[in-house]
Amino acid sequence: MKQNAVTETQPLPDTPTIAVGEDNSVFTSLASTLTEIRKLKGVIGYILRSNTAAIVDLPQPETPEYAMLSAQVSDSSKGIAKQFNLTDVESVLVEGKTHKLLCISLGENKIGIFMEKTCAHAWIVKRILL
């Protein structure tokens, strides 16, 4: 059985950590796109995860809470879609008083983007899905 090679580096402070298997070019491409999106005004951070790797670029104190919220929204949307006999859910937007979360599922890759409520999410969805 062939093992996927994993590259590990020591992260600099406030830098996302990347561990990518050799056969996951979609994950690598999404990571690059999200790095650019992260620079937009109003984007707080993101989580990108696959079955074998994850990248987290979020403010340190809130990281566990954001990670749990992203995973729960992603899982709940799948359950709701199944309950109402809908096709696969491509994206979900959850808005709070001051912030919003955009969750996108692309195959085995799950994305959670956290942003201020005033940030334009429609452009982000189009950018990721292209």
**Domain limits, the chain:** 43-129
Q: At the topology level of CATH, where does 43-129 sit?
A: Beta-Lactamase (3.30.450)
Angle at 65 between CA 63 and CA 66, to 5 degrees: 65
What is the pLDDT at residue 12?
46
What is the pLDDT at residue 2?
46
Burial class (CB in 10 A: 0-12, 13-18, 19+), 124: buried
Tens place of pLDDT per residue across the chain (130 aa): 444 444 444 444 555 555 545 456 889 999 999 999 999 999 999 999 998 999 999 987 888 899 999 999 998 998 999 999 988 788 999 999 999 999 999 989 999 999 999 999 999 999 998 7
Which residues are paired to 102 by β-bridges? 93, 113
Can you give the pTM of this predicted structure?
0.79
